[in-house]
Amino acid sequence: MALSERKLKILQAIITDFINSAEPIGSRTLSKKLGISISPATIRNEMSDLEDMGYLTHPHTSAGRVPSDKAYRLYVNSLMEKYELQEDDKNKITARLSNKFDELDKALANAAEILSELTNLTSFALTPGVDSNRLKYINLIPVDEKNLVMMLVTETGKVSNKIVKTTEPYSKDKIEFLSKFLTVNYKGKKLSDIMATDILESCEKDLTNIGKLVENIMPNFLSTLENMMNVELFLDGMTNIFSIPEYNNLERAKMFLEIINRKKELTEVLLNRDSGVIITIGNENIDQAIQECSLITASYCVDGKCIGKLGVIGPTRMNYGEITSIIEYMTENLSKSFRLTEGEEDE
Amino acid sequence: MALSERKLKILQAIITDFINSAEPIGSRTLSKKLGISISPATIRNEMSDLEDMGYLTHPHTSAGRVPSDKAYRLYVNSLMEKYELQEDDKNKITARLSNKFDELDKALANAAEILSELTNLTSFALTPGVDSNRLKYINLIPVDEKNLVMMLVTETGKVSNKIVKTTEPYSKDKIEFLSKFLTVNYKGKKLSDIMATDILESCEKDLTNIGKLVENIMPNFLSTLENMMNVELFLDGMTNIFSIPEYNNLERAKMFLEIINRKKELTEVLLNRDSGVIITIGNENIDQAIQECSLITASYCVDGKCIGKLGVIGPTRMNYGEITSIIEYMTENLSKSFRLTEGEEDE
DNA sequence: ATTAGCACTCAAGGTTAATGAGTGCTAACA
DNA sequence: TGTTAGCACTCATTAACCTTGAGTGCTAAT
């Protein structure tokens, strides 16, 4: 059976209505709402067909129809009209985003906050990922006779440092040498690649003259690298779940919040998503736990590389058009502001 | 009316029972549970007295009795028996705490996680506070011709740094001079004091010879300081609330989570608490929003200064003895490990 | 192909009654 | 005088039952 023009129209009406009301919609109500006059009975027949085709379901015999994941997918791909953000909203977003972008972490936490407020959903922001992260700057800075600070900066602007305690006083020469050695060997290399090679061994061969110092510093070098590889997840608007009818019962709200709070797993899910605007609906999600939710994510760029993610998670019944526009606009904005602050080599 | 020996015994029995069961307890049940045989009728009389004195309440006429905040206070102050952690538990805690204390933030997040698991409550950890935080180390490090890194370290081991972009190429001499200038002027000073003085003005007087560089750097100096003053709050075990009978309904769970997620306000509340082990019960809390909860916090020390906090929040019906012991033990442990890693001047 | 009509279904909400854990009071008892 | 047994009373909780109304599916007429 093919999807006639009319079927599509009915399906679309059901979906948009359900997105707004969260109530199953019946034939009589729908008949009244549709512009053209089709009788409830006809609509019932069409609905029945749509159900056979897998686009609608029934919570129970005497309830109205509800769109299935398949219906949402069709909706997102072709039925949904493009949502244009108001100029006014755009300005508000831009203003709030540009508040404080001097620290990546803060900017992202801020972005997540804005996003959850605008969408009334749970939002998240993920710091730039590992893959294309390269070391840009390595330095060892003396503090006092037995303490020094190791500082690493990546191309994406991530800074990490650590106080290193040496077992015996060090000479300035030695740490300068080591600093240069590290720079020569690892600058421009990917974090993951450095981690993968057996650094400790190769260093100890080359650096026998510095002796003990290497023993103090290299393990710290590695652990700091590891540290920088850890993407960080910012969540916001968790309690928005309580105002969503679908989650208006303890069991479901609890489940949702427990999933959301398993940050490691959630991060994993997000890291595995492609770049660009990605929408996954209900059972399209590979992860069992979130097959009742939809996820919309988009990636933002730092230094021209699209590796961080911003997005929302909520019930499959969400306003895909509007939310997608918001996220897209926000990530574009973030990308722009990160380019401006971090470096302007291209100008 | 005075609290007779027997009244105390009855009150204590009611409290311990209620802490475990969360159910109002009646005279008959209590009579059976008490070692000595007192008839239900007598217990009823005593209960009635205790209610008049404000130690007990009634959810409704035909329900058992429930301890009031006043009762819990009495319990905590004098009735409660000291809870001794098992050697076994202690070892487990120590082992998990010492896992990774190379970064303060991680160690605290980890501590909060352990604490919420052990208590089945919502836990939090607060990074060291502002008051006694002094600058220990200031440095400006050249990266490339127009970028440098400003690094600040406090006595409590907090490190913060920021990439500063200068409007025009700088000379090494100048930044070294500025670095020394800042060190001479601000090392050992409290962050808050530095923030309070009108730095910009005084600098521009003294530093006319460096010109533009000051304009680039000083605002960053200030914002980085501000940054370091921000204490950070780590929360864990939020969803534990769902397994607590008191919160077994949407409204209350929602309220609780919303309060907990207003991190700024929560931080404020925690910052205002004294050092040492502090227990506040229900209406003893100044903050309206948490007057149905009890808070237990203890402070841990970094570098011998007790300024960070670790604690839990939950219903007034909580196992004060056990939880207090756990928190106390954990903060002691944290203080120890922070002393060992950060410096051993005293040995 | 469309529609009106009708029997049927079922969740939700309201009413009622039974249950039982608990109280307060009174009078008897040691 | 403090303690206890007994009894009437209260009230949250639960289950059983009924009513309502939104909705369906099917059939027969248009």
Give the pLDDT of residue B144. 74
Q: Does A141 touch chain B (CB under 8 A)?
A: yes
- Please report how many Cα atoms fall inside a 13 Å half-sphere around the Cα of residue B87, on the Cβ side: 0
Positions of chain D reached by protein Cβ under 7 A: 3-6, 9-12, 21-27
A293-302 and A278-281 strand pairing: antiparallel
**Cross-chain Cβ contact A261/B250 below 8 Å:** no
pLDDT in tens, B174-213: 888 888 888 888 888 888 788 777 766 776 667 666 667 7
Q: Does B289 touch chain A (CB under 8 A)?
A: no
Please report the residues numbered 49 through 108 in chain A whose beta carbons come closer than 8 angstroms to any beta carbon of chain B. 102-103
pLDDT in tens, B245-275: 999 888 899 999 999 999 989 999 998 899 9
The pLDDT of residue A132 is above 70: no
Residue type, A286: I
- If one compares B242 and A1, the residue with the highest pLDDT of the two is B242
pLDDT in tens, A287-320: 999 999 999 999 998 877 777 999 999 999 999 9
**Cross-chain Cβ contact A103/B162 below 8 Å:** yes
Nucleotide with C1' nearest the A27 CA: D23
The pTM score is 0.84
Please report the residues numbered 248 through 277 in chain A whose beta carbons come closer than 8 angstroms to any beta carbon of chain B. 248-250, 253-254, 257-258, 261
- If one compares B89 and B172, the residue with the highest pLDDT of the two is B89
The pLDDT of residue B214 is above 90: no
Cβ atoms of B156 and B305 closer than 8 Å: yes
Q: Does A142 touch chain B (CB under 8 A)?
A: no
- If one compares A340 and A339, the residue with the highest pLDDT of the two is A339
The pLDDT of residue A341 is above 60: no
The pLDDT of residue A342 is above 80: no
Residue A100 pLDDT class (50, 70, 90 cuts): low
The reply to whether the CB atom of residue B245 sits less than 7 A from any atom in nucleic acid chain D is no
The closest of B224, B249, B72, B71 to B162, measured between CA atoms, is: B224
A160 contact partners, CB below 8 Å, separation of at least 6: A151, A152, A153, A224, A227, A228
Give the pLDDT of residue B50. 96
Average of per-residue pLDDT values in chain A: 87
Residue B57 pLDDT class (50, 70, 90 cuts): very high
Give the pLDDT of residue A208. 67
| Mean pLDDT for the stretch of residues A27-38 | 88
Write out chain A in H/E/C secondary structure. Answer: CCCCHHHHHHHHHHHHHHHHHCCCECHHHHHHHCCCCCCHHHHHHHHHHHHHCCCEECCCCCCCEEECHHHHHHHHHHHCCCCCCCHHHHHHHHHHHCCCCCCHHHHHHHHHHHHHHHHCCEEEEECCCCCCCEEEEEEEEEEECCEEEEEEEECCCCEEEEEEECCCCCCHHHHHHHHHHHHHHHCCCEHHHHHHCCHHHHHHHHCCCCCHHHHHHHHHHHHHHHHHHCCCEEEECHHHHHHCHHHCCHHHHHHHHHHHHCHHHHHHHHHCCCCCCEEEEHHHCCCHHHCCEEEEEEEEEECCEEEEEEEEEEECCCCHHHHHHHHHHHHHHHHHHHHHHHCCCCC
CA of B9 to C1' of C22 (A): 21
Give the pLDDT of residue B163. 73
Choose the weakest-confidence range: A8-17, A82-91, A96-105, B13-22.
A96-105
| Mean pLDDT for the stretch of residues B19-26 | 95
Give the pLDDT of residue A130. 61
Please report the residues numbered 101 through 120 in chain B whose beta carbons come closer than 8 angstroms to any beta carbon of chain A. 102-103
The pLDDT of residue A326 is above 50: yes
Q: Does B187 touch chain A (CB under 8 A)?
A: no
CA distance B296 to B67: 18
The reply to whether the CB atom of residue B211 sits less than 7 A from any atom in nucleic acid chain D is no
The reply to whether the CB atom of residue B63 sits less than 7 A from any atom in nucleic acid chain C is yes
pLDDT in tens, A226-284: 777 778 899 999 999 999 999 988 889 999 999 999 998 999 999 889 999 999 999 99
- If one compares A4 and A192, the residue with the highest pLDDT of the two is A4
CA of B209 to C1' of D26 (A): 95
Residue B105 pLDDT class (50, 70, 90 cuts): confident
**Cross-chain Cβ contact A162/B261 below 8 Å:** no
**Cross-chain Cβ contact B161/A159 below 8 Å:** yes
CA distance A152 to B154: 19
Tokens coding A131: 């893959």
Query: How far, in Å, are A234, B90, B104, B235, B278 from residue B310 at the CA level?
Result: 22, 17, 13, 10, 11
The pLDDT of residue B18 is above 60: yes
CA distance B165 to B237: 41
A138 contact partners, CB below 8 Å, separation of at least 6: A150, A151, A152, A179, A182, A183, A186, A187
Element (H, E) at B311: strand B305-315
